[in-house]
Amino acid sequence: MARLVMKFGGTSVADLDRIRNVARHVKREVDAGNEIAVVVSAMAGETNKLVGYCRGASALHDAREYDAVVSAGEQVTAGLLAITLQSLGVNARSWLGWQIPIRTDSAHGAARITDIPAETLVERFRQGQVAVIAGFQGLAPDNRIATLGRGGSDTSAVAIAAAIGADRCDIYTDVDGVYTTDPRIVPNARRLDKVAFEEMLEMASLGAKVLQVRSVELAMVHGVRTFVRSSFEDPEAPQVGPDGEPVGTLICDEDEIVEKQLVTGIAYSKDEAKITMRGVEDRPGVAAAIFGPLADASINVDMIVQNISEDGRTTDITFTVTTADFDRAMALIESLRSTVRMETVSGSSDVAKVSVIGIGMRSHAGVAAQAFQALAGRGINIQLITTSEIKISVLIDAAYTELAVRTLHSIYELDKT
């Protein structure tokens, strides 16, 4: 017998037929004697609709009321799944975030989980009951509903798994695992059997959409083994592949991966914009004078490159932000001219970031050179470069994104077992 958290995303619960399919997946695990908690998202498209209602009601709306509205989608799904499970003879009960309670900080709309008392859920297990939990939501210190930000149901599931000491957190989605890259770009991309927490964190933050970044952070900190699998597989069919292992990708500690590949995957993001400040006065504190206000405005800066002029008096600074923050960042930088001396400011949103990721890079030299040579051979110019122990990211013209991904996937032979 195992204790499992099963999380189902919006596409998995998009309508009643799919909710019935989810219920069959849950019943399969219950019949196997496992203790089950289920975390659900809102039906596909429902949260966007609720967000639209808030914006339509008022462009400037109270974040607490926003949370009250947009959290309703998960409430509907949890209730419907509990009803469906009951119709199949499964003892199930729905729970909202505030009923457990999943305690959060006061940042409505982007709250962080601070505590989850496990007693309520553990008691339900003793009673043989399946807890169907509305994801994406918790209880803020003001005793009002707080939501965790888009994709927050993944975070809910991993946090609950950590709180109850689950053996595994299964994330059911519309794909059957994590691939070496986007199969829509590289049809022969390969599904990975295991990915280390650190690799998945990089992949999620660099463009892979399978898991939300904060959920991977939580899983890594608390050692929650997380399994990505498809909800569209037949629940009654054997849930293992030809090798006898479950079909999907296990996100786990690096020590569980016996054979570490040099490169695990290629990620990309077109949600990038580049800003370049030229002729900036080179003096102590200038970087803080630029990036401090950006941080205060909640504008996340990613890649940063600084070049000092030959005479040492001025510097050029280039950095990237998300496309959603591009206009705000440009306006903010222009407003700094009174405190930060600069000659020109320019920007472009027609760029993309492509990243090579793999824990095997720690012990191998020449990985970056191989990537740069391959891109050059394809006539792809690199605008910015950042590296870490297990990743290399390059900023390129957005028009070359797919070519760059295919090129890098090929040179590292990721299509081969």
Report pLDDT digits (tens) over 311-327.
778 999 999 999 989 99
Q: ∠135-42-164 over CA atoms, to 5°?
A: 20
234 lies in the same domain as 269: no
Sign of CA dihedral 249, 77, 56, 297: negative
232 lies in the same domain as 353: no
pLDDT digits (tens, 9 = 90+) for 138-158: 999 999 999 998 889 999 999
78 vs 135: CA distance, rounded Å: 9
Query: 92: exposed, middle or buried (C-beta count within 10 Å: 0-12, 13-18, 19+)?
Result: buried
Place of tokens 């090798």: 243
Please give the model's pTM, rounded to 2 decimal places: 0.86
Q: Is residue 316 part of a domain?
A: yes
Domain boundary among 222, 254, 286: 254
243 lies in the same domain as 271: no
3-state secondary structure of 7: strand
**Is residue 136 part of an annotated ligand binding site?**
no
166 lies in the same domain as 236: yes
Average pLDDT over residues 274-296: 93
**Is residue 210 part of an annotated ligand binding site?**
yes
Q: Report the CATH number at residue 30.
A: 3.40.1160.10
241 lies in the same domain as 310: no
Structural domain count of the chain: 2
Q: Is residue 270 part of a domain?
A: yes
273 lies in the same domain as 250: no
Check pLDDT > 80 for residue 345.
Answer: yes
Compute the mean pLDDT over every residue in the chain, rounded to the nearest whole number.
92
pLDDT reported for residue 240? 63
Q: Is residue 259 part of a domain?
A: no
**Is residue 24 part of an annotated ligand binding site?**
no
Q: Report the CATH number at residue 312.
A: 3.30.2130.10
**Is residue 173 part of an annotated ligand binding site?**
yes
**Is residue 413 part of an annotated ligand binding site?**
no
pLDDT reported for residue 241? 60
Return the closest-CA partner of residue 219 out of 413, 5, 74: 5
Q: Is residue 216 part of a domain?
A: yes
| Per-residue pLDDT band at 243 (split at 50, 70, 90) | low
Domain coverage including residue 83: 3-254
182 lies in the same domain as 281: no
**Is residue 179 part of an annotated ligand binding site?**
yes
99 vs 246: CA distance, rounded Å: 33
226 lies in the same domain as 310: no
Give strand pairing partners of 87. none
**Is residue 313 part of an annotated ligand binding site?**
no
**Is residue 47 part of an annotated ligand binding site?**
yes
**Is residue 391 part of an annotated ligand binding site?**
no
Give the range among 69-83, 311-325, 373-387 with minimum mean pLDDT: 311-325
152 vs 158: CA distance, rounded Å: 10
Query: 379: exposed, middle or buried (C-beta count within 10 Å: 0-12, 13-18, 19+)?
Result: exposed
Check pLDDT > 90 for residue 362.
Answer: no
Separation of CA 344 from chain center: 35
**Is residue 174 part of an annotated ligand binding site?**
yes
**Cβ neighbours of residue 127 under 8 Å, at least 6 residues apart?**
91
229 lies in the same domain as 303: no
Q: Within 10 Å of residue 386's Cβ, how many Cβ atoms?
A: 16
Q: Is residue 416 part of a domain?
A: no
